[in-house]
Amino acid sequence: MKYISNNIHDRQIGEYHGIESGACIVIVAGLHGNEPTGINAIQEIFSTISENQIPIKGDIFAYRGNVSALKEGRRYLDKDLNRIWKKKLVDQVSTTKPNQTLAVEEKEQLELLSEIEKAISASRGDTWILDLHTSSAAGPPFILGGQGNHVTERVENILHVPVIIDTPGYFSGAMLNHYHRKGLVSFAFEAGQHNTKQSIEVNKEAIWRVLLGLGSTKIEFLPDSVNTENLLKKSKNGIPTKIELIYRHAVSKEDHFKMLPGFRNFDQVEQGQILGHDKRGEVQSPEKGMIFLPLYQEIGEDGFFIVRELRE
């Protein structure tokens, strides 16, 4: 088995290449520069694999997302790197002329495109693109990016967390969609609140579960210190398995939107319930449902979303 590790400021976090062929797992962490816990989780997992000489089949590639913003601990510098992956934008950035100036995040995107393309072309099995995030609100982990029932059920069976299905396309600029278009299994995993020990642990459990679920390794090879049955299943706690997005409260800087404190992802809200304030006054929930991604950080264009159990 071959392991490649690079220094802290590089794009690449590390790679494992098993002797036997198997799934190709591509992990991106820190696509938002204020969300480094996925990187910590990958580094801890890679150390555990090395120290315990855990056999790995197939390939694992792990990359930092927004290297420039991670260095400053900011969500992004010029543009949100997880909102610029619509087909038109990817085509545009991929055909940039050498004399054209690019936003910081467009340069990051070009590098990621090229690295991930290399990883995909080296694949010797199932290819999964796993994009690790945290959010400004507390709450249980979940997946964004259902892509057809069959894939959604497989992902849910492996990870045991709710899957948010973005039928209205509110997140159509997210990276996961670019790889959906290529026919790969691709989703964002949200581990919990930014910069918490809990989010590192949740991310680790999710990565181990993917490695086990795709046959990259076996449970008997893992040391006792590794948890794979602890946090994810428990955290679901009555939240439906398949969830649809029904409303997005878009905000701009000029709105001076301020969310009321204390909302967690998936808290129940009533129609008409006051959720925040902006320069026009109270902001109410237009629907009964569950609150999703309430904005508790300085930047962002999504004030909150309302979600509910998917009605099929």
Smallest distance from the beta carbon of 31 to Zn ion, in angstroms? 6
Q: Which stretch binds Zn ion (CB under 5 A): 13-21, 29-37, 88-96, 292-300?
A: 29-37
**Smallest gap, in angstroms, from Cβ of residue 212 to Zn ion?**
25
Minimum Å distance from CB 185 to Zn ion? 19
Site string for Zn ion, 108-137 (x = CB under 5 A): -------------------------x----
Nearest residue (CB) to Zn ion, 71 versus 218:
71
Nearer to Zn ion, 23 or 137 (CB): 137
32: contact with Zn ion by CB under 5 A = yes
Q: Kindly write down the DSSP assignment for every residue of the chain, as one continuous string.
A: -EEEE--TTSSEEEEEE-SS---EEEEEE-SSTT-THHHHHHHHHHHHHHHTT----SEEEEEES-HHHHHHT-S-SSS-TTS--SHHHHHHHHT--TTS---HHHHHHHHHHHHHHHHHHT--S-EEEEEEEEESS----EEE---SHHHHHHHHHHH-S-EEE-TT-TTTTSHHHHHHHTT-EEEEEEEEETT-HHHHHHHHHHHHHHHHHTTSS-GGGS-TT--SSSSHHHHHTT--SEEEEEEEEE--GGG--EEPTT--TT-EE-TT-EEEEETTEEEE-SSSEEEES---SS--SEEEEEEEE---
Q: Which stretch binds Zn ion (CB under 5 A): 31-39, 57-65, 144-152, 178-186?
A: 31-39
State in angstroms the smallest separation of the CB of 69 from Zn ion.
Answer: 11
116/191 with CB nearer Zn ion: 191
Q: Which is nearer to Zn ion, 4 or 299 (CB)?
A: 299
Q: Which residue number, 198 or 284, has a Cβ lying nearer to Zn ion?
A: 198
For residue 30, the minimal CB distance to Zn ion (Å) is: 9
Q: How many residues belong to the site for Zn ion (CB under 5 A)? A: 3
Nearer to Zn ion, 57 or 204 (CB): 204
- In the complex, which residues of this chain contact Zn ion (CB under 5 A)? 32, 35, 133
